[in-house]
A = this chain, B = another copy of it.
Amino acid sequence: MKVLLAEVNVSEGRDLEKIAQIKEALISNASVRILEVNSDKDHNRTVFTYSGEPAEVLEGTKRLTQKAVELIDMTVHTGAHPRMGAVDVVPFIPARNVSQEEALEVAKAFGKFLGGIGVPVYYYEDAATRPERKSLVDIRKGEYESFKEKMTKEEWRPDEGPFEFVPKSGATVTGVRFPLIAFNVNLRTDDLAAGKQIVKAVRAATGGYQNVRAIALEIPDKKMVQISMNLTQYQKTPIHRVFETIKSEADSRGILIADTELVGPVPVMALEDLMKFYVRCYGFNMEQLY
């Protein structure tokens, strides 16, 4: 079974009727499994997260974004979240038995489609056509309001679609990225300083593990400190290793772990390492799961 994930960010988080129409365009045209539809009024943004066979995900994404382009007018858009376009960012994420190449093909087919209906498109992350287009933050710099000017420069000429600014739709970024895992560990302490010491042990930037972004936060309600993390390459830096390191660092300070949280969608493949490490089931193949 092949599974590709799409996380489509559109610039409408307030008009529930429009959001419902956009969702309808997705589900009525493709056999995908919706994991989450998350609308934020302040951000004025909705994220549709869904998975399925690559061809189905491509088809559904075309229909969803076509409807969003039709319904959303960026000339009147306001919201707290940085954005460039009606269809803002569309990452495709290989989840199961989908190669990087296959995911890239889907992203490029989608980019060509969206360009074809008149939206300027930039490829980012693993689909980037130039090094300076790797990062979403760099492409989006200046936001929607700056693009009329930005797009006139040769270095910011779109990869697909019209080379001129399209006021109604703005621009779209699409590409392929590795699945992120949002993993939090809650410590039975209100000692934030201790939490910050523990973070240092796992965060890449302070000598910890590659592929770990982490901060320590107070959770006043629970009188706990949380180590809040993104694991950006779980195959190289798996959940169990980060967890065990935090556990031993906490233990040496006389601090216990209360619990942990995995937030949002989690690739099932990330559980393979747990099976191997904790239960020593080294030969387990995730295809055995039903």
**Chain B positions within 8 Å of A33 at CB level:** 1, 290
Contact for A289 among B268, B274, B282, B284, CB less than 8 A: B268
Binds B, one of A82-90, A153-161, A208-216, A258-266: A258-266
Chain B residues contacting A151 (CB-CB under 8 Å) are none
Residues of B within 8 A of A262 (CB): 275, 281, 284, 288
Whether B290 contacts A268 by the Cβ 8 Å rule is yes
User: Are B289 and A260 closer than 8 Å at their CB atoms?
Assistant: no
Report chain B residues within 8 Å CB of A31: 31
A35 contacts chain B at the CB level, 8 A cutoff = yes
B contact residues around A287 at 8 Å (CB): 35
With A33-B1, A262-B284, A281-B261: A290-B274 Cβ-Cβ less than 8 Å: no
Q: Tell me whether A103 is interfacial, beta carbon within 8 Å.
A: no
User: Are A279's CB and B35's CB within 8 A?
Assistant: no
Nearest B residue (CB) for A257: B280
- What is the interface of chain A, defined by CB distance below 8 A to chain B? 1, 3, 5, 31, 33, 35, 51, 95, 239-240, 243, 257-262, 264-268, 271, 274-275, 278-284, 287-290
A187 to B48, CA, bound (A): 47
Interface centre among A31, A259, A280 (most CB of B within 10 A): A280
Quick one: copies of this chain in the complex? 2
Decide if B290 touches A5 in the complex (CB within 8 Å): yes
A33 to B290, CA, bound (A): 9
Among A5, A258, A283, the most chain B Cβ lie within 10 Å of the Cβ of A283
Q: With A1-B33, A271-B271, A274-B274 in contact, is A266–B279 under 8 Å at CB?
A: no
Give every chain B residue within 8 A of A259 (Cβ-Cβ). 280-283
Shortest Cβ distance from residue A198 to the other chain B in the assembled complex, whole angstroms: 15
Residues on the B chain within 8 Å of A258, using CB: 280
Is there contact, CB below 8 Å, between B288 and A95? no
The 8 closest A-B pairs by CB, nearest first: A51-B290, A278-B278, A268-B289, A260-B281, A259-B280, A266-B288, A260-B280, A259-B282
Residues B290 and A266 in contact, CB atoms below 8 Å apart: yes
Residue in B closest to A49 when the chains form the complex, CB atoms: B290
**Residue among B1, B261, B274 making CB contact with A278, cutoff 8 Å:** B274
